Each structure stands twice: as structure tokens, then as C-alpha cells.
Structure 1
Amino acid sequence: MDFALEAAALLGITLRPMTDDDLPFLEALYASTRAEEVAAVGWPPEMQQAFLRQQHTAQHAHYRAHYAQAAWCIVEREGEAIGRLYWRESEADIHIIDISLVPRSRGTGFGEALLRDMAAHAAQDGRGLSIFVEKNNPARSLYQRLGFKPVEDHGVYDFMRRPPHSALS
């Protein structure tokens, strides 16, 4: 991690590097983001859990293979893991690979504070901030409020980008 948290720090949020010891937490976090969707399929609970475990393993391997130089951080509050934040920096942009919070931390302002800090970090060097967002993601309105605009349609995802010098509302 190479940027200071300001807005997030005011809420007691810290970041630390992810380790392999975090994999069980990360698997449960991933499952919490997909549980409702998978439950709608009607599979028995043990089949749902196995599917979510397999999907997390595949996603983790994909991220590690395709974003080898990324920052992999665990979001903590008061010493407790509450989420993950993965990003990759380039000359033009900081690309958020994934930002996820546990259910009880969603809608609390924690994610917004992290995004504001990332936007401030990107703006220091005249870079934009980008992310792929599912079209039905409830956080989409947050991204739009923070100046992200869809720039490419990727089926169920939009590639959204916040230009380097957008004002934060």
C-alpha cells in the first residue's frame, strides 16, 4: 500500500497486506457477495457452498495471474477484517480490481471513504480511477455520485472511470 488513508482513517479504517491466512475470510466474503444470487438457483445449501468455494478459488487464481503487480489489502476496522481492496496502478489510472465489504459494513460509508481516498491519491498524479461494475450492483449509484462514468459496456459489467480532475461531491 502506498497511499495514506484520510477519509477512511476518520472512520477507524485501516489497510494491511493480504496473506494466505486471510483466505478463509476472503472465501466467506466472496460468498456473502453472491449468496443471494446462488440461493435463487434452488440448489441445496451444501451445493451452494461448494459452488461458491469453487468460484472464489477460481477468481482468486485469476486475479493473481492477471494482476501480478497489484496491491492486495484487507480492510480492517478496530483490528477486525471487514473487507478487501485490490488495485493496480499504471501511469494513466489506478484500477480497482475489487472492493468488497462484509454485509454489516455495507452502506456505512466505509466503502465511500476508501473510494474518496483512492480518488485523492490518483488525482495527486493526474491519474484517473477505474473499475468494472456489474450493471445491477447496488454500489453503482455511489460510483456515479463520486464521478465515475460508464465508458465501455462489457455485457453484465460496465467499465467505469473517474477522470483525473473530477470534483468529489
Structure 2
Amino acid sequence: MKQCPDYVLRPARREDFAFAAAIYIDSMRPLMQRLARWNEEERRAALRRSFRAADTSVIILDGRDIGWIQVTERDTDYNLAQLQLLDDYCGLGIGTRLIGALLDKASREEKTVSLSVVRNNRAIALYERLGFRIVDPGATPILDMVWGEG
């Protein structure tokens, strides 16, 4: 496996929403279309409701914004609300490294990490490799996963 490139994170700003939305829509469209569940207007509205710049960091590599991660801290849990990368940067280990850092932090604080993922997303294999488990395997189209519980 190639070494993960050195990226940096910067706090997101409200004006980063358009960038975040573009990556989100591009990644969600094919997944939801394959499940015959795509409604772009609904997805954009849901993202507008859930995007929190205060919980979000933009991922930068070689001076270019390449993705974003949104993590919400709760009493006993961190929720990985979003991890989105431009296609050209998937598979380089960036997601693994970002999630690994979150899992280390959660472990030190004795918290769980939760996330939701479209059931046909290739990222499920990554999440399972990192120790997440599916809460309700029969759920569709979205699976809830948790790490550090049980």
C-alpha cells in the first residue's frame, strides 16, 4: 500500500458549503440511483440542514481543497457525519488516517464513534476493517454503524 500523502486540515467556513455540497452530491448520486432512491432536491436540503461549519474541517493536499470531514461530539459518542473526498484522492489512505485519528481520540476519551452509510457504499469495507459493526443489517437504504461498543 502506498504511503498516505501529507494533507492538512483547516476549519471550515460557512462559504465552504458549496464545495462540500458539490462533493457530497457527486458521491451520493450514483449510490442512491443504484437503489432507485435519488432525489437531488431532498439530498441538497438534507445537507443544508445538517452541515455545521463548526464541526467541519476541509482537507487540503498540495494547496488544493480535496475533501471535508464533519464530526459531531456528543456526551458519549463522536458522530462521523460526513467524510467526503474528491474521487482522485480516494484509496490513498487519507480516509483511513482521518478515521484512525478519530478512533484514537474516542478510545482515549472512552467514547464510541457512530456513522451512517448508504448500504452499497464501498466505504463499508473500510469501516469494517477499522472495527465498526453494522447495527441493523436489514436497514435500507442507510446502515448505521458503531465502533467501540460491545
TM-score by length of 2: 0.81
- Change beyond 3 A, Cα 1:138–1:37: closer
Per the alignment, in what secondary structure is the counterpart of residue 36 of structure 1?
Answer: helix
Aligned twin of 1:60:
47
CA distance in 2, matches of 1:27, 1:13: 21
- Change beyond 3 A, Cα 1:111–1:59: same
Q: Does 1:132 align with 2:116?
A: yes
- Is the Cα–Cα contact under 8 Å of residues 129 and 162 in structure 1 kept in the other structure? yes
For structure 2, the residue ranges without an aligned partner over 5 or more in a row are none
Letter in 2 for 1:143: Y
Q: Which moves more between the two structures, 145-154 or 114-123?
A: 145-154
Per the alignment, in what secondary structure is the counterpart of residue 158 of structure 1?
Answer: strand
Offset of 1:69 from its aligned partner? 9.2
For structure 1, the residue ranges without an aligned partner over 5 or more in a row are 1-9, 41-50
Per the alignment, in what secondary structure is the counterpart of residue 135 of structure 2?
Answer: strand
Aligned residues: 144
Aligned twin of 2:144:
159
CA distance in 2, matches of 1:39, 1:148: 25
- Is the Cα–Cα contact under 8 Å of residues 32 and 103 in structure 1 kept in the other structure? no
Q: Does 1:29 align with 2:23?
A: yes
Report sequence identity in percent: 23
- Change beyond 3 A, Cα 1:38–1:71: closer
Show the 5 A alignment for 1:1-169: 11-36=5-30, 52=40, 54-55=41-42, 57-64=44-51, 71-152=55-136, 154-163=139-148
Q: For residues 98-133 of structure 1, what are the alpha-carbon distances to aligned partners after superposition, in whole Å with 9 as ceiling and x for unaligned?
A: 111000011111111101011001111111111001
Offset of 1:39 from its aligned partner? 7.5
- Change beyond 3 A, Cα 1:59–1:149: same
Letter in 2 for 1:105: Y
Per the alignment, in what secondary structure is the counterpart of residue 152 of structure 1?
Answer: coil
Point out the structure with max Rg over C-alpha. 1
CA distance in 1, matches of 2:73, 2:31: 31
TM-score by length of 1: 0.73
CA distance in 1, matches of 2:30, 2:65: 22
- Is the Cα–Cα contact under 8 Å of residues 58 and 67 in structure 2 kept in the other structure? yes
Letter in 2 for 1:160: M
